[in-house]
Each structure stands twice: as structure tokens, then as C-alpha cells.
Amino acid sequence: MVECHSLRCCGDMFAPPTTKLGFRHAVVPVGRWGGRRSGRLELSGLRPSLLRIQAALPGQESSPESAKRCCDSSAPGTSSYVLSTVGNSTNILWHECPVGKLERQKLLSQKGCVIWITGLSGSGKSTLACALSRELHYRGHLTYILDGDNVRHGLNRDLSFNGEDRAENIRRVGEVAKLFADAGLICIASLISPYRKERDACRAMLSDSSFIEVFLNIPLEVCEARDPKGLYKLARAGKIKGFTGVDDPYESPLDCEIVIKQIDGKCPTPKAMAEQIISFLDNNGFLQA
């Protein structure tokens, strides 16, 4: 048997990629660091330590078992690598680094996570995100806010507010939030994210329970009365089409970690809401490595 240099394939570093990344992959035996055995791999010049390759063979699911076979089934003189197909990206390779999430979390004395604040326009998402970031910052924790409005100024400037684009908006923010959580940060995503299916898909991107959904459950009438940007007025006048809560749906979470609502007709202060979330983080071990 030939020594396998795939970082995710052997020994302590082995972790089946499907559990973390959901790749579709298959194993392709190839020559040792060179040659073109699969007809599409050219490995010359690649350092062994960088190799964990997944093949673009459709329909072959990975499993711990199949990934292990990567070590066992090679012909003498060959090693096996696995390339993957993800969406429209074919023959791509995941690079591992010995400095991982755990090391970064240790450095930061916290656990990377995503706090996903969802609610109607005007419910107070941005205000809460800022209050939470400020309170955590004072306590020595590193945070980063992905605010819907702000992200639409750059990364998502190509997206409109039709259903398809909102779904893509949520997906992209989910992916970026996942990266920030992997970086060890407490990532606060505050966007309307009106669709349950897309929010749940973002939750599914994170392997452990590090997706914390916060529903800012403020009634439409209150949000509309606040109307800080005058958007509800424009929507009611028919000057904005497809406005959430007016003529576009908002699907409330059915089972989320934290619900914030009015008490006796009064909205808690942003600081009080932030404290509620911080208590959750503390009780669930996110504020230590």
C-alpha cells in the first residue's frame, strides 16, 4: 500500500468531507505526484502536504468508508486523491491548514458562531446588532456585523428584492457568516431574511449548534409606525412593490433559539435585548474557548 498524503484522508486529520462540507466526491487513483492517470489530473509540482483531491465524478457520494478506501485501493506506485464538484465548480481541491478553527478560538477565548437576527423592516435588527456588538466588544469579544442593508452596498449589490434574489442574498450572507464563524468570530447577521427555507439552509451550513437564530418579533403596526426610512409609506402608496409585510411575505421562525418581543406593549431596550442574547451565549459556552 502506498502512503496517502491526503490530509483529510489518513490518521488524526481524517474527517469525511461530507459531514462538514457536503461535497459530492469520488476517488481517483493517480500517479505519485505526477503524470496524468485520470485523464484530467496534473499533479506535478504540487506539494504532498497540500493534496486532498476530490474527483468530479457525478453521483458518487462520499462516506468515511469510501474516503478511507482512498488509502487502501491504490495500485502499487500510485496514491489516490479525490477531487470534488460543487455547484458548477469541477475538479476542485480543498486545502487544509494546521491552524484551524480550534486554534483560532483558543487565541480569541471564544467560540465562533453566527447570531442570525431576522425580523421585519423597522423591527430593530440593525440597532440590536450594534448594541450586541458593542456589549460583546466591551467584554473583550471579537464580533463582526453582516447587516442586510450594508451587504447590499457591496457583495450583494447585484441583487434585487424579488424572491429569487432575496434567497441568493440570504445564501451568500450565510456563507460569509460561516466563514467568519470558522475564523472564530461571533458573527452577527442582521437581515430581514423573510423565508424559512433559506434561513434553515444557513443553519444547515454550520455543523454544530453554532447557528443561533434570533427572531425580533415586533408587530408590523409598530414597525410601520416607526418607518424611519419612510419605506412603508412608499410601499402603501404602491411606490415600492414587493415590500416585506406589505405585499411580500415574512415567514416567522417556528423553532428558533431566541425570541424577542414586546412586554406589555413595550419593546425592550436594545441593551436589554443584547443582554438576553449574551446570557444565551454565556450559558451555552460561546464566551470561552
Ligand X SMILES: Nc1ncnc2c1ncn2[C@@H]1O[C@H](COP(=O)(O)OS(=O)(=O)O)[C@@H](OP(=O)(O)O)[C@H]1O
Query: Catalytic: 62?
Result: no
Which parts of 225-264 interact with ligand X (CB under 6 A)? 229, 231, 240, 242-244, 248
Q: Which is nearer to ligand ADP, 17 or 119 (CB)?
A: 119
First to last CA, the chain: 40
203-207, Cβ contacts within 8 angstroms, sequence gap of 24 or more = 203/116, 205/174, 205/175, 205/178, 206/113, 206/114, 206/178, 206/181, 207/19, 207/20
Shortest Cβ 281–ligand X spacing (Å): 23
Contacts of 90 (CB under 8 A, 6+ apart): 56, 83
Quote the least distance from Cβ 275 to ligand X, whole Å: 22
- Measured CA to CA, the distance from residue 198 to residue 205 in angstroms comes to 11
Count of residues that interact with ligand ADP, criterion CB under 6 A: 13
What are the cell numbers at 25? 466526491
Find how far residue 113's CA is from the centre of its chain.
9
Task: Name residues contacting ligand X, limited to 140-179 (CB under 6 A).
Answer: 148-149, 152, 161, 166, 169-170
Given ligand X, ligand ADP, none, residue 152, with its beta carbon under 5 to 8 Å by kind, binds ligand X
* Cβ neighbour number for residue 217 with a 10 Å cutoff: 16
Please name every residue paired with 137 in a beta bridge, in sequence order, or none if there are none. Answer: none
Give the residue with the Cβ less far from ligand X, 117 or 274. 117
Integer CA distances (angstroms), 110 to 146, 267, 273, in order? 19, 30, 20
Q: Which does 267 bind (CB under 5 to 8 A by kind): ligand X, ligand ADP, none?
A: ligand ADP
Using the rule CB under 6 A, which residue among 112, 194, 253, 270 binds ligand X? 194
Q: Under the criterion CB under 6 A, does residue 262 sit at the interface with ligand ADP? A: no
Site string for ligand ADP, 171-210 (x = CB under 6 A): ----------------------------------------
- Binding-site ranges for ligand X (CB under 6 A): 121-122, 125-126, 148-149, 152, 161, 166, 169-170, 191-194, 229, 231, 240, 242-244, 248
